[in-house]
Structure 1
Amino acid sequence: MNAGYGPVLVLVGPPASGKTTVGTAVADALGVPFRDTDHDVEATAGSSVADLFVQRGEPHFRALEAAAVARAMAEHDGVLALGGGAVSNEDTRRLLVAHGRAGGTVVWLDVDLPSAAHRVGLSRDRPILGLNPRAMLRIMLETRAPLYGEVATLTVATGNRPAEDVVAEVLAALQASAGRGAGS
């Protein structure tokens, strides 16, 4: 299912697209571990993502994030969720595209602005959203969409959908992909 190396599934998408919710459910269904690169960064830095943004700045966080993604892509064989902005790093995009070309699955969990804004609310644990979360989300969705599209082998819409439906769609896609791989 994972082309013999790397994660069985990589999830990308903006904040509030459902990467953690969908990722943990898919991992549970497959009986594999779930890993989130934001948690890896926090463990390495000994600080929350929010605090890293405030105390060290976004460039410092992005450097830690790129290293965490490269490490996880090399050593994790379960479901991997990347932070929303991870695709802004060119090396990360190259890794993800190579993973897809080698038969791996990279799913872009695509969420519409109203759904994302509703899910995020005024969450303080998402520092990149700043003082106007809805405006920042809109900008993020627009500017990152081409980057998510570049790396994804599949796009799944998550807005106004129950998590169970999204999980079922991702699992069906993984099963179809494994079936295609078995015949080659």
Structure 2
Amino acid sequence: MIHAVLIGPPGAGKSTVGRLLADRLGVGYRDTDDDVEAVAGKPVGDIFVEDGEERFRELEAEAVRRALASHDGVLSLGGGAVLKEETRRLLGGHPVVYLEVSLAQAVQRVGLASARPLLVLNPRSRLKKLLDERRPVYEALAKLTVKTDDREPDDIAEEIAGVFGR
């Protein structure tokens, strides 16, 4: 059973908060980016460069589908996973949590010299564009939105556990 699915842009804290939340709830943690890397046998950045974003998105959609069907615990999705219509449909009925982060905080967290594939050229501008494009999708999918700016990951995990803890 999925206890929480964390969505949000790069720098929102999905992986950090996800691990803490899973520990707090006494359940497993899974990150679909890790699943994609395991299937592809290489890091996400290499998949983007060598195989292209489209191939990465295909692998990501499959990883999300499998995780939603089989994982028992907390699940973190890559920032762009929600771009696929199939993924949005599959998320229906699950406890989806949007970790909201401002541009300023996201830039601080990911750094401007980030190895994140979609932020290679002009990272601040790309990150702003990603935030602007994806925010409505994140908001529409979320059963709970948690602002993460100027907050400790433990506090965020505790807030989510208070809502979805079982």
Q: Compute the TM-score of the two structures, normalised by the length of structure 1.
A: 0.87
Aligned with 1:109 (options 99, 118, 124): 99
Aligned residue for 1:107, secondary structure, equals strand
Aligned residues: 166
Of residues 150, 154, 168, the one that matches 2:140 is 150
Aligned to 1:136: 126
Q: CA deviation at 1:125?
A: 2.9
Selected match of 2:159 from 154, 161, 169? 169
1:52-99, CA deviations, whole angstroms, 9 ceiling, x for partnerless residues?
A: 0000110000000000000000000110000000000000000112x2
Question: Match of 2:2, SS?
Answer: coil
Who wins on radius of gyration, i.e. which is larger? 1
Aligned to 1:22: 17
Distance in 1 separating the partners of 2:110 and 2:135: 18
2:149 to 125, 149, 159: 159
**Distance in 1 (alpha carbons) for counterparts of 2:115 and 2:58:** 19
Structure 2 residue runs of 5 or longer lacking an equivalent are: none
Cα separation, 1, equivalents of 2:137 and 2:97: 12
Report the 3-state secondary structure (helix = DSSP H, G, I; strand = E; otherwise coil) of the residue aligned with 1:125. Answer: coil
State the one-letter code of the partner of 1:93. Answer: R
State the one-letter code of the partner of 2:84. Answer: N
Q: What's the C-alpha RMSD, in Å, of the aligned pairs?
A: 1.1
Q: Which amino acid aligns with 1:137?
A: L
Q: Is the 8 A contact 2:8 2:100 kept in 1?
A: yes
Alpha-carbon distance between aligned partners in 2 of 1:7 and 1:174, rounded to the nearest angstrom: 10
The two structures have a TM-score, normalised by structure 2, of 0.96
Q: Name the % identity.
A: 53
Instruction: Please tell me whether residue 87 in structure 1 is matched to residue 54 in structure 2.
Output: no
Take 2:161 and 2:123, find their aligned partners in 1: how far apart are those partners?
31
Moved over 6 A (4+): none
- The 5 Å alignment of 1:43-82 reads 43-82=38-77
Spell out, residue by residue over 1:19-49, the C-alpha distance to the aligned partner (whole angstroms, 9 max, x if none).
0110000001111110000000000000100
1:12 aligns to 2:25 (yes or no): no
The runs of 5 or more residues in structure 1 that have no matched partner are 1-5, 179-184
Give the C-alpha shift of residue 123 in structure 1: 4.5
Q: Secondary structure of the residue that 1:142 maps to in structure 2? A: helix
Contact (CA 8 Å) 2:64, 2:77: kept in 1 or not? yes
